[in-house]
Amino acid sequence: MNDEEFSPNEDGPVQQARLWRDERWTAEIIKNEDDDGWAVSMTLRGESEPALVGPWTMGRDKKNPKPLDAPAFHTLVKTASEVLRRHEQQLHARLHKEVAVGAGSERIRVALTIVPDEEYPYAVLTAQDESGETLGQARVAADFKLNLDKAEAWIASGYAARVR
């Protein structure tokens, strides 16, 4: 059986020159469409798109790719996992904003959480005291720009349901 006979979506571990798979990741060496070189794609189980695609080293014959091995696979898994972690952190930062109003026991944390619904995106504004008790909550437009002035105005309004 050659490497091309295996699909990255099949179950079970595989350790071949151009295809490695464990219980979470599949590494596949593919022909680079742009030139004569090779690339490696790392796909997380259950995902349709690779998390990472990068150049792959040519073998000694300068024609075929260098075969995958355990150290290379583990390095690729670590790199692809880090790429996913960074994407998740960026998404979280984009969807969650927070400001603090006041100081000490009077400090109120106002958070904006964007809900990226495809048809009707919106955001939720939440105020909490130092102990984590919710003081107020309001639904706002997904493009609401949270800043200190808006948070203070909302608090001053008694946590009005309509926030501008």
Q: What is the pTM of this model?
A: 0.65
Q: Are 151 and 70 members of one domain?
A: no
Q: Are 51 and 77 members of one domain?
A: yes
Report yes or no on 139 lying in a domain. yes
Q: Are 86 and 108 members of one domain?
A: no
pLDDT digits (tens, 9 = 90+) for 70-84: 999 999 999 999 999
Quote the mean pLDDT of the chain: 89
φ/ψ (deg, to 5) at 89: -65, -40
- What residue numbers bound the domain in which 120 lies? 102-156
Tokens 């130092």 belong to which residue?
A: 130
Q: SS3 string of 49-104?
A: CCCEEEEECECCCCCCECCCCHHHHHHHHHHHHHHHHHHHHHHHHHHEEEEEECCH
Q: Are 115 and 89 members of one domain?
A: no
pLDDT digits (tens, 9 = 90+) for 84-99: 999 999 989 889 999 9
| Count of domains for the chain | 2
Report yes or no on 118 lying in a domain. yes
pLDDT digits (tens, 9 = 90+) for 108-159: 999 999 998 889 999 999 999 989 999 999 999 999 999 999 999 999 999 9
- The 8-class DSSP code of residue 6 comes to -
pLDDT digits (tens, 9 = 90+) for 97-106: 999 998 767 8
- What is the distance between the alpha carbons of residues 60 and 74, in angstroms, rounded to a whole number? 22
Report yes or no on 114 lying in a domain. yes
Report yes or no on 163 lying in a domain. no
Q: Are 89 and 126 members of one domain?
A: no
- What is the distance between the alpha carbons of residues 37 and 34, in angstroms, rounded to a whole number? 8
Check if the beta carbon of residue 109 is closer than 8 Å to that of residue 128. yes
